[in-house]
Amino acid sequence: MAFHCQQAIEKYFKAYILEHDKPLLKIHDLPKLYGIIKGLKDFEIDEDLLSIINETYIEDRCPGELGLLPDGIPSKKQAHDFLEFAKDIGEKIKNELNKAISE
């Protein structure tokens, strides 16, 4: 589930970047994508948690023997926290995109 939270946040960020006519970079790094967004609007998110979730991205999409984080597979609580964080970012991005549509 942690990897899918990373993917959801990445897609939310990329949707926001595209909506603001900024070039879409072929990167998956959440802090870098958030850095682009912060130049447009600061969503005041937990950047430490964003960095932790960012570590769950895997190039080949097949987790290694240790799991998705440097310390192993995320706990159920961590996965739940990641999911709630992804939902919160999704709501913030969707609200901003809906405002842009209304204007």
Q: Say yes or no to pLDDT of 61 above 70.
A: no
Each residue of 67-100: pLDDT tens digit? Answer: 566 777 778 888 889 889 999 999 998 998 888 8
* Distant-in-sequence, close-in-space partners of 56: CB < 8 Å, separation ≥ 6: 2, 3, 5, 6, 68, 69, 74, 82
Give phi and psi for 48, each to the nearest 5.
Answer: -65, -45
pLDDT of 76: 81
Q: Which residue has the tokens 């850095």?
A: 35
The two counts, helices (H) then strands (E), for the chain are 4, 0
Average pLDDT taken over every residue of the chain: 84
| pTM metric for this prediction | 0.70
In one-letter notation, the amino acid at residue 19 is E
Q: Say yes or no to pLDDT of 63 above 80.
A: no
Residue 103's Cβ-side half-sphere holds a number of Cα atoms within 13 Å equal to 7
